[in-house]
Amino acid sequence: MNGSVHPLGRRLAAEAVGTGALVTVVIGSGIQAADLSQDGAVVLLANSLATVFGLGVLIAVLGPVSGAHFNPLVSLATWWNGRGDGQGPLLRDVAAYAVAQISGAVGGAVLANAMFARPLVNWSTQQRHADHLWLAEVAATAGLIVVIFGLTRTGRAGLAPVSVAAYIGAAYWFTSSTSFANPAVTIGRAFTDTYAGIAPTSVGPFILAQILGAAVGLGLVAVVFGPQALKSAPRDIEVTSAAFAEQGSTRP
Amino acid sequence: MNGSVHPLGRRLAAEAVGTGALVTVVIGSGIQAADLSQDGAVVLLANSLATVFGLGVLIAVLGPVSGAHFNPLVSLATWWNGRGDGQGPLLRDVAAYAVAQISGAVGGAVLANAMFARPLVNWSTQQRHADHLWLAEVAATAGLIVVIFGLTRTGRAGLAPVSVAAYIGAAYWFTSSTSFANPAVTIGRAFTDTYAGIAPTSVGPFILAQILGAAVGLGLVAVVFGPQALKSAPRDIEVTSAAFAEQGSTRP
Amino acid sequence: MNGSVHPLGRRLAAEAVGTGALVTVVIGSGIQAADLSQDGAVVLLANSLATVFGLGVLIAVLGPVSGAHFNPLVSLATWWNGRGDGQGPLLRDVAAYAVAQISGAVGGAVLANAMFARPLVNWSTQQRHADHLWLAEVAATAGLIVVIFGLTRTGRAGLAPVSVAAYIGAAYWFTSSTSFANPAVTIGRAFTDTYAGIAPTSVGPFILAQILGAAVGLGLVAVVFGPQALKSAPRDIEVTSAAFAEQGSTRP
Amino acid sequence: MNGSVHPLGRRLAAEAVGTGALVTVVIGSGIQAADLSQDGAVVLLANSLATVFGLGVLIAVLGPVSGAHFNPLVSLATWWNGRGDGQGPLLRDVAAYAVAQISGAVGGAVLANAMFARPLVNWSTQQRHADHLWLAEVAATAGLIVVIFGLTRTGRAGLAPVSVAAYIGAAYWFTSSTSFANPAVTIGRAFTDTYAGIAPTSVGPFILAQILGAAVGLGLVAVVFGPQALKSAPRDIEVTSAAFAEQGSTRP
Question: Mutate which of C173, C221, C228 to test chain D, going by most D C-beta atoms within 10 A?
Answer: C173
Q: Work out the pLDDT band at A89, boundaries 50, 70, 90.
A: confident
Does the beta-carbon distance from C53 to B167 stay under 8 Å? yes
pLDDT at C227: 82
pLDDT at C5: 73
- The neighbours of chain D, by the rule of 3 or more Cβ pairs under 8 Å, are A, C
D77: contact with C, CB 8 A cutoff: no
Does the beta-carbon distance from D251 to C224 stay under 8 Å? no
Q: How far is CA A57 from CA A183, D160, D215, in A?
A: 21, 10, 20
C21: contact with B, CB 8 A cutoff: yes
Average of per-residue pLDDT values in chain D: 90
Give tens-digit pLDDT for C197-234: 999 999 999 999 999 999 999 999 999 999 874 344 34
A226: contact with B, CB 8 A cutoff: yes
CB B243 within 8 A of CB B59: no
Q: Work out the pLDDT band at A84, boundaries 50, 70, 90.
A: confident
C48: contact with B, CB 8 A cutoff: no
- Cα dihedral across residues D10, D15, D20, D21: positive or negative: positive
Q: Nearest by CB to B155, which of C65, C111, C252?
A: C252
Measured in residues, chain B has a length of 252
Give tens-digit pLDDT for D45-92: 999 999 999 999 999 999 999 999 999 999 999 999 888 777 778 999
Residues of D whose CB is below 8 A from C227: none
Question: Mutate which of A6, A53, A62, A241 to test chain D, going by most D C-beta atoms within 10 A?
Answer: A53
Q: In angstroms, rounded to a whole number, what is the distance separating the alpha carbons of residues C145 and D61?
A: 11
pLDDT at B42: 98
pLDDT at A245: 38
HSE-CB at B70 with a 13 A cutoff on CA atoms is 32
Q: In angstroms, rounded to a whole number, what is the distance separating the alpha carbons of residues A38 and D134?
A: 27
Q: How far is CA D167 from CA A205, D40, D140, in A?
A: 33, 21, 9
pLDDT at D63: 97
Residues of A whose CB is below 8 A from B111: 139
Q: Nearest by CB to B42, which of C17, C42, C248?
A: C42
CB D36 within 8 A of CB C39: yes
Q: In angstroms, rounded to a whole number, what is the distance separating the alpha carbons of residues A49 and A234?
A: 30
The tens place of each residue's pLDDT in chain B, 252 residues long, gives 334 579 999 999 999 999 999 999 999 999 999 999 999 999 999 999 999 999 999 999 999 999 999 999 999 999 998 887 777 789 999 999 999 999 999 999 999 999 999 999 999 999 999 999 999 999 999 999 999 999 999 999 999 999 999 999 999 999 999 999 999 999 999 999 999 999 999 999 999 999 999 999 999 999 999 987 434 434 434 334 433 433 333 222
Question: How near does any CA of chain D get to the CA of C144, in Å?
Answer: 11
Question: Mutate which of D173, D176, D177 to test chain A, going by most A C-beta atoms within 10 A?
Answer: D173
| Percent of chain D residues topping a pLDDT of 90 | 84
pLDDT at A76: 97
Whether residue C153 is predicted with pLDDT greater than 60 in this model: the reply is yes
Residues of D whose CB is below 8 A from C224: 10, 13-14, 17, 62, 65
Whether residue C3 is predicted with pLDDT greater than 60 in this model: the reply is no
pLDDT at C197: 98
**Residue B161 has what DSSP assignment?**
H
pLDDT at B82: 84
Question: How near does any CA of chain B get to the CA of C17, in Å?
Answer: 9
Whether residue A29 is predicted with pLDDT greater than 90 in this model: the reply is yes
Q: Where are the beta strands (DSSP E) in chain A?
A: none
pLDDT at C242: 38
Spatial CB neighbours of C25, under 8 Å, sequence gap ≥ 6: B170, B173, B174, C50, C51, C54, C55
C136: contact with D, CB 8 A cutoff: yes
Q: In angstroms, rounded to a whole number, what is the distance separating the alpha carbons of residues B199 and B140?
A: 20
Q: In angstroms, rounded to a whole number, what is the distance separating the alpha carbons of residues A193 and A30?
A: 11
Give tens-digit pLDDT for A155-170: 999 999 999 999 999 9
pLDDT at A191: 98
Q: In angstroms, rounded to a whole number, what is the distance separating the alpha carbons of residues C149 and C167?
A: 13
Whether residue C252 is predicted with pLDDT greater than 50 in this model: the reply is no
Does the beta-carbon distance from D57 to C146 stay under 8 Å? no
Whether residue A132 is predicted with pLDDT greater than 90 in this model: the reply is yes
Q: In angstroms, rounded to a whole number, what is the distance separating the alpha carbons of residues A110 and A119?
A: 8
Longest CA span, chain B: 54
Does the beta-carbon distance from B62 to A150 stay under 8 Å? yes
pLDDT at A88: 76
Closest CA to C124 of C211, C206, C212: C206
Closest CA to B116 of B198, B189, B34, B21: B34
**Residue D196 has what DSSP assignment?**
T
Q: Work out the pLDDT band at A5, boundaries 50, 70, 90.
A: confident
Q: In angstroms, rounded to a whole number, what is the distance separating the alpha carbons of residues A184 and A167?
A: 18
Average pLDDT over residues C130-142: 98
Does the beta-carbon distance from D117 to C139 stay under 8 Å? no
Phi and psi angles of residue C122, each rounded to the nearest 5 degrees, phi first: -155, 85
**Structure-model confidence comparison of residues D97 and A243, the more confident one:** D97
Based on C-alpha coordinates, what's the Rg of chain C?
17
Residues of C whose CB is below 8 A from D64: 154, 156
Planar angle of CA D173, D177, D183, nearest 5 degrees:
115
* Cα nearest neighbour of A46 on chain B: B46
Whether residue A242 is predicted with pLDDT greater than 50 in this model: the reply is no
Whether residue A43 is predicted with pLDDT greater than 70 in this model: the reply is yes
Whether residue D247 is predicted with pLDDT greater than 70 in this model: the reply is no
Whether residue D206 is predicted with pLDDT greater than 90 in this model: the reply is yes
Does the beta-carbon distance from A176 to B33 stay under 8 Å? no
Q: In angstroms, rounded to a whole number, what is the distance separating the alpha carbons of residues B248 and A152?
A: 9
Q: In angstroms, rounded to a whole number, what is the distance separating the alpha carbons of residues A248 and A82?
A: 24
Measured in residues, chain A has a length of 252
Question: Mutate which of C53, C111, C163, C194 to test chain B, going by most B C-beta atoms within 10 A?
Answer: C53
ipTM, two decimals, is 0.91
Spatial CB neighbours of C70, under 8 Å, sequence gap ≥ 6: C15, C18, C19, C22, C58, C59, C101, C182, C184, C185
Question: How near does any CA of chain C get to the CA of B62, in Å?
Answer: 16
pLDDT at A98: 98
pLDDT at C159: 96
Helix axes B237-250, B40-66, angle to 10 degrees: 90
pLDDT at A249: 31
Give tens-digit pLDDT for C45-66: 999 999 999 999 999 999 999 9
pLDDT at A99: 98
Q: Nearest by CB to C57, which of B42, B170, B246?
A: B170
pLDDT at A240: 42
pLDDT at D173: 98
DSSP track, B69-98: --SHHHHHHHHHHHTTTT-SPPHHHHHHHH
Give tens-digit pLDDT for D19-39: 999 999 999 999 999 999 999
Residues of C whose CB is below 8 A from B143: 21
Give tens-digit pLDDT for C100-130: 999 999 999 999 999 999 999 999 999 999 9
D115: contact with C, CB 8 A cutoff: yes
CB C33 within 8 A of CB B249: no
D216: contact with A, CB 8 A cutoff: no
Measured in residues, chain D has a length of 252
pLDDT at D191: 98
Number of neighbouring beta carbons within 10 Å of residue B145: 24
CB D123 within 8 A of CB D38: no
Q: In angstroms, rounded to a whole number, what is the distance separating the alpha carbons of residues A183 and B203?
A: 42
Q: Work out the pLDDT band at D246, boundaries 50, 70, 90.
A: very low
pLDDT at C158: 94
D50: contact with A, CB 8 A cutoff: no
pLDDT at D84: 74
